[in-house]
Chain A
Amino acid sequence: MYAQLVKSEGLKSREDMSPEERDFQDRVDNGEKIEPKDWMPEGYRKTLIRQIGQHAHSEIVGQLPEGNWITRAPTLERKAILLAKVQDEAGHGLYLYSAAETLGVSRDELLEKLHSGKMKYSSIFNYPTLNWADIGAVGWLVDGAAIMNQVPLQRTSFGPYSRAMIRICKEESFHQRQGYAIMMKMAAGTPEQKDMAQDALNRFWFPSLMMFGPSDKDSVHSAQSMAWKIKMNTNDELRQKFVNETVPQADYLGLKVPDDKLAWNEDKQGYDFSEPDWSEFFEVIKGNGPCNRERLNARVKAWDDGAWFREGLNAYADKAADRRKAAAVAAE
């Protein structure tokens, strides 16, 4: 769930809908998949482009904090696993940009919007990875939080998005397990390693809770997206589920979740926990997180430095096409 604060429209009542909109809503309600060539309300298309685009951007910006440790991974096996994982994230970006392209927006257009700051990526990737246990914590908590949202999105109404999610979820659950495996090794390691693990949890706990987006009472875009089945659960539902599943995992590691108010609530069969600092969240979204500038600059630099490379390949492809044409003419 790498999509937060995706702007959508106010929920339309059935009486306000055109006949086409009513038919469309019926298909969604019946669990039918909407395919790219099917009629769809303009708002559905736009909201999906924003959501899938933001998700795709999150995958490729998300390569950076983890990529930060590839050259420093402590064993050859850890290095290979991390490389494979970060490469998977790039692959997820590729599926998602392709899914967005079926809605009539090119990858280049979406990238231009990322680079100019018109489109966002998940707030979580604006936090730094400072010690090796952060690589474990990102897999365990960040991929874990993403899975909470992405598993239900496998049932989303838009066919290409749903199919991309099915592939992505298979890999993400593997990522989460590899992250937890690192945490287990660190938590059971030397005192210094255990300190790294606790430090990573301390820094990533609240930013991970923020990944689900603001509290439902402040979440203005949800109702229409939920009616269209491009958002399957509310932010607070998913956050609660994440906390319920993650706290016992932290206990198993012997690490302390950095929240003094955390307590099991027998009545709701879930944990009570502190809300993240939402003012920090909105600052990060605005561009004031610890790594916003570095992350965006890195993406823009990669794109700008690569311009000659892309132009070279395109020029060759054009020449090759001309040569084929000339050869065909000569053969006639």
Chain B
Amino acid sequence: MSGAQTTDAELKADPFMNDDAIRAAFFEWLCRMGDNALILGHRTSEWCGHGPVLEEDIALANTALDLIGHTQMWLGLAGEVEGKGRDADDLAYLRDAMKFHNLLLVELPKGDMAVTIMREFLFDAYHHLLLKWLAEHSTSPRVAEIAAKALKEVSYHLDRASDIVVRLGDGTEESHRRMQEALELLWPYTGEMFAGDNVDAALSGAGIAPELTGLQGLWDEDVRSILDEATLKTPEPGGYAHLGGKQGRHTEHLGFILAEMQFLQRAYPGASW
């Protein structure tokens, strides 16, 4: 009990919840965390009922469910930090594309299972490193608390995705070819994960979030070791990177995701569901 009380006190004492100097950047960074989870969760949920084998169908639905849970936590906190009375649903359902701050990587169409699994692997490897840092080092207790919860699930996502990448990479000729093609399709979208801007600088300056360049080396190592085991050829680092998602400049795909996702909230404003 005393542990829980200490935690509650620490949470209340989160120095960043009412800090005007960082409020705007903190809000935007929290939206990035929530939007990544929401949009990847949306794409993953598109497989429900259409998976290649029943166990995989269940695992993908489970992953999507975890990501929607993370969305509720990150966007919920974003609304609190913003302080304008918006909750997680308001942020998910009533912002337009230019106000979404997810990585371009997560909004790309789900493609075949090779694209879906490879994307999940590349993102999870980053997501896992990021959440681990946040859970262990963030100066914001609220952020650390959410990260610790999400980390448990994302550790499992990463294990599962890594395992399937290895199996399909080193499976048949066709599964190998599809995985290599998926890797090459997605690789130019991975650079955005580590391309910091002034929001990232403000957050790492305050110790809330890590220096992204610090994570990149670890990500390169982790990803390369799995891709090697999968007998896949890792593309050269430092190639062209598609950027813009974090700042609200998206691919054409996001608008369609939102048109579908937000339909009921937009068509029947103010209704309670």
The answer to whether A74 touches B265, judged by C-beta atoms less than 8 angstroms apart, is yes
- Could you tell me the distance between the alpha carbons of A306 and B268 in the complex, rounded to whole angstroms? 38
Kindly list chain B residues whose C-beta atoms are within 8 Å of the C-beta of A94. Answer: 54-55, 58
- Could you tell me the distance between the alpha carbons of A67 and B44 in the complex, rounded to whole angstroms? 12
The answer to whether B51 touches A302, judged by C-beta atoms less than 8 angstroms apart, is yes
The answer to whether A312 touches B171, judged by C-beta atoms less than 8 angstroms apart, is yes
- Could you tell me the distance between the alpha carbons of A308 and B178 in the complex, rounded to whole angstroms? 9
The answer to whether B261 touches A60, judged by C-beta atoms less than 8 angstroms apart, is no
Report the minimal beta-carbon distance from A278 to chain B, rounded to whole angstroms.
29
CB closest residue in chain A, given B65: A83
In the complex, B112 has a CB within 8 A of chain A: yes
Kindly list chain B residues whose C-beta atoms are within 8 Å of the C-beta of A60. Answer: 49, 54
Kindly list chain A residues whose C-beta atoms are within 8 Å of the C-beta of B45. Answer: 70-71, 79, 83
The answer to whether A306 touches B68, judged by C-beta atoms less than 8 angstroms apart, is no
The answer to whether B65 touches A75, judged by C-beta atoms less than 8 angstroms apart, is no
How many interface residues does A have (CB within 8 Å)?
49
Among A132, A192, A193, A306, point to the contact of B53 (Cβ < 8 A): A306
Among B38, B49, B175, point to the contact of A309 (Cβ < 8 A): B175
The answer to whether B48 touches A86, judged by C-beta atoms less than 8 angstroms apart, is yes
Interface of B is mostly: helix
The answer to whether B48 touches A132, judged by C-beta atoms less than 8 angstroms apart, is no
The answer to whether A76 touches B55, judged by C-beta atoms less than 8 angstroms apart, is no
In the complex, B172 has a CB within 8 A of chain A: yes
In the complex, A212 has a CB within 8 A of chain B: no
8 Å CB contacts to A: which residues of B34-82? Answer: 38, 42, 45-46, 48-58, 61-62, 64-65, 68-69, 71-72, 75
How many interface residues does B have (CB within 8 Å)?
52
CB closest residue in chain B, given A83: B65
CB closest residue in chain B, given A77: B72
In the complex, A213 has a CB within 8 A of chain B: no
Report the minimal beta-carbon distance from A197 to chain B, rounded to whole angstroms.
12
Report the minimal beta-carbon distance from A181 to chain B, rounded to whole angstroms.
11
In the complex, A78 has a CB within 8 A of chain B: yes
The answer to whether A192 touches B268, judged by C-beta atoms less than 8 angstroms apart, is yes
Among A185, A306, A313, point to the contact of B272 (Cβ < 8 A): A185
In the complex, B167 has a CB within 8 A of chain A: yes
Kindly list chain B residues whose C-beta atoms are within 8 Å of the C-beta of A306. Answer: 51-53, 56, 113
**Residues A74 and B273 in contact in the complex (CB < 8 Å), given A87-B58, A87-B61:** yes
The answer to whether B71 touches A76, judged by C-beta atoms less than 8 angstroms apart, is yes
Given A94-B58, A189-B271, A313-B168, list of 9 further CB < 8 A pairs? Answer: A60-B49, A70-B46, A74-B264, A75-B89, A75-B93, A83-B68, A87-B48, A87-B58, A301-B50
